[in-house]
């Protein structure tokens, strides 16, 4: 089943009279359960493409479909509703709320969807266990390592059981051992839950985990293909 489809999408940014074409007619289809890397140098368009798929931005032209629905022209509130129910995000800088514990950070999406206390408690406990952080549930971000913070972010992204997880440079601020652990956890959760992962990276060590690689340069898709064998090791 197709989770997202991008049809001839362009994205032009204007600063004064200067125009920058970040995407130049990109078309792409991602199926349910895929573990896909968007790769390319800085300025290639991969983060812009993630933002369009994640309903954080709108294309200048073309269509973006999520679970068969054209989200290209949704208003701000409609895009927020789509994100809340369908898409989870993992950011380069973790984006945890510093005054909240790991438990409370993971719980936030469940509070926004109105789940009851018992449901929230069970789901947060399940997710912290899945990312090997049950013993760190009541620690704030400043009491956690970078790798632990990113694992909290992974748990939070999965909280509402989205069909799609988007990760922008998820290991960029981690050392090699923590980056390896984060990618292994993401790979395992993809296999166990079937949730689709799309992650942007320029790190060849991270690219090795992908089962499909989409290469962008100057706003164009240069290559798009399945990887025959996943190499485990960052």
Which pLDDT score, from 0 to 100, does residue 232 have? 42
Q: Of 13-17, 40-44, 130-134, 171-175, where does the model show the most confidence?
A: 130-134
**In a 3-state reduction of DSSP, which class is residue 163?**
coil
What topology does CATH give the domain 2-226? Rossmann fold (3.40.50)
Query: For 187-203, what is the mean pLDDT?
Result: 94
What residue segments make up the domains of the chain, in order of their start? 2-226
What local confidence, expressed as pLDDT, does residue 227 receive? 67
- Over residues 25-48, the mean pLDDT reads 94
What does pTM read for this prediction? 0.90
Instruction: List the single range of 20-24, 117-121, 205-209 with lowest mean pLDDT.
Output: 205-209
The CA-atom distances, in angstroms, between 29 and each of 63, 79, 109, 221, 234 are: 12, 20, 27, 12, 27
Q: How far apart are CA 155 and CA 51, in angstroms?
A: 20
Whether the predicted pLDDT of 127 surpasses 50 = yes
Distances (CA, A) of 209 to 47, 175, 219, 230, 233: 19, 17, 24, 5, 8
């Amino acid at each position: 089943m197709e989770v997202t489809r991008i049809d001839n999408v362009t994205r032009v940014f204007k600063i004064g009279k200067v125009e920058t074409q970040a995407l130049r007619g990109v078309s792409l289809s991602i199926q349910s359960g895929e573990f896909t890397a968007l790769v390319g140098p800085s300025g290639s368009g991969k983060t812009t493409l993630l933002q369009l798929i994640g309903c954080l931005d709108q294309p200048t032209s073309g269509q973006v479909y999520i679970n068969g629905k054209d989200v290209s022209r949704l208003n701000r509130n409609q895009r927020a509703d789509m994100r809340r129910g369908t898409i989870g995000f993992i950011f380069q800088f973790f984006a945890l709320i510093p005054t909240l514990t790991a438990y409370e950070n993971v719980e936030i999406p469940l509070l926004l969807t109105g789940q009851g206390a018992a449901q929230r408690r069970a789901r947060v406990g399940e997710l912290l266990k899945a990312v090997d952080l049950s013993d760190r549930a009541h620690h704030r971000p400043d009491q956690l390592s970078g790798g632990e913070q990113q694992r909290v972010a992974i748990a939070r992204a999965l909280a509402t059981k989205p069909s799609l997880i988007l990760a922008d440079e998820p290991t960029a601020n981690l050392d090699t051992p923590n980056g390896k652990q984060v990618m292994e956890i993401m790979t395992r959760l993809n296999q166990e839950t079937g949730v689709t992962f799309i992650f942007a990276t320029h790190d060849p060590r991270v690219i090795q985990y992908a089962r499909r690689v989409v290469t962008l340069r100057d706003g164009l898709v240069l290559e798009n293909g399945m990887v025959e064998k996943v190499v485990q090791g960052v």
